[in-house]
Each structure stands twice: as C-alpha cells, then as structure tokens.
Amino acid sequence: MQEIQEVLLTPEKIAARVKELGAEITRDYQDTGKGLILIGILKGALPFLADLIREIKTPLRYDLMAVSSYGVSTKSSGIVRIIKDIDLSIEGEDVLIVEDIIDTGLTLKYLVETLKSRRPHSVRTITLLDKPSRRVAEISPDYNGFIIPDRFVVGYGLDYAERFRQLPMIAVLKPEVYS
C-alpha cells in the first residue's frame, strides 16, 4: 500500500501481546468477586476489544462508548463529548476502559472521571498503544500494549479520515497523506 511508510507492529506481534494482556487481566480479576465490565471506546478500539475479550478467561461483560474530540485534522482540542453512552449500569462493578491509543491523555482522563462518578467498585484502563511523549494530562494506562514514538499510525482500528482501520497491523502513515 503506497500510503504506508513502514509497518510498526505486525499482526503476529499484536496477537502475542493481546494474549499476554488477556492473561494478566485474568490473573488480576479472577478472584475479585465483582463483575468485570470492559468498555470499548469506538471506533478505534473495536478490533482490540474483540481480540482481548477472547483472551480474558474470567467472566465479563462489555459495552461500547463513543466520544468525540473537537478539533481539526490530526489534532485534538481536548474538548470531549459523549456521542454514545454505555447501556450497562457499572455501579459496584470493576470497569476496564479499553482504548486503542493514548496520546495527550485528555480523552482518557475525561472518561475515567466520568465513569468514576457512576460509583463503580474500580476503574482501570488499558490501551493498545501509548505515546507518552505527547501526554498533556496526568494519566497512565494500567495495562499497556506498546509504547510507540510520536508518529501518525493507522491500522488495527486506527484510521485517518475513516480509512485504514481494516489493516491487520499498526503502520506509520506517510506524512504527505495527512498534511
């Protein structure tokens, strides 16, 4: 594909890490006595969520949430609006927010604060990709797939203008495509 500059993470590397994360979450939540609810953040986290729930070997439920960060092109303004809220009640439950990527951290911080106000037992976070060099908000994921450099990536759910989500890998997009 001519718009791709390089492959950062192969499908095999992603699958192996998702399996490890699923085992870690299984260990952490198997004896809590609470319900585990995963909340996938649409649209980007959908492939990660689908693969992750198959690797977690403890009872769970999941729901989906869609948020919008106003801004132009590849930049987020940090103003977050909930487009689709969850349907499940999370009061008294263990919640795990599933994100595709964390860069500034503003969206994830907003989601954690919003969901904590609904009185769950706990709220933790997992991300497939983390760009700590772009962090603005004081937040770090509880579970982290990969730390990546500050490059514009697509694939495995991540997009540019709704394209490239279907790619089975994480790839760096050529700057001329989005500039």
Calpha distance 20→10 (Å, rounded) = 16
Instruction: Please state, as a whole number, how many other Cβ atoms lie within 10 Å of the Cβ of residue 19.
Output: 14
DSSP state of 141: -
| Average pLDDT rounded to a whole number, residues 55-80 | 79
**176's torsion region: left (phi>0), alpha (psi -120 to 50) or beta?**
alpha
Calpha distance 83→55 (Å, rounded) = 28
DSSP state of 62: E
> In the predicted model, is pLDDT for residue 67 greater than 70?
yes
Tell me the three state secondary structure of residue 17: helix
| Average pLDDT rounded to a whole number, residues 70-79 | 57
> In the predicted model, is pLDDT for residue 69 greater than 50?
yes
Calpha distance 116→110 (Å, rounded) = 10
> In the predicted model, is pLDDT for residue 117 greater than 90?
yes
> In the predicted model, is pLDDT for residue 48 greater than 70?
yes
Contact by Cβ (8 Å): 53, 62: yes
Across all residues in the chain, what is the average pLDDT? 93
- Give the residue, 75 or 130, on which the prediction is more confident: 130
Active-site residue 103, yes or no?
yes
Task: Give the per-residue pLDDT at 68.
Answer: 82
| Average pLDDT rounded to a whole number, residues 75-88 | 83
Residue 164 burial (CB < 10 Å; 0-12/13-18/19+)? buried
CA distances from 83 to 38, 40, 117, 125, 178 (A): 18, 13, 18, 20, 25
CA distances from 101 to 43, 59, 117, 159 (A): 11, 25, 23, 11
> In the predicted model, is pLDDT for residue 35 greater than 90?
no
Q: Exactly one of 51, 94, 100, 103 is catalytic; which is it? A: 103
Which amino acid appears at position 168 of this protein?
P
> In the predicted model, is pLDDT for residue 179 greater than 70?
yes
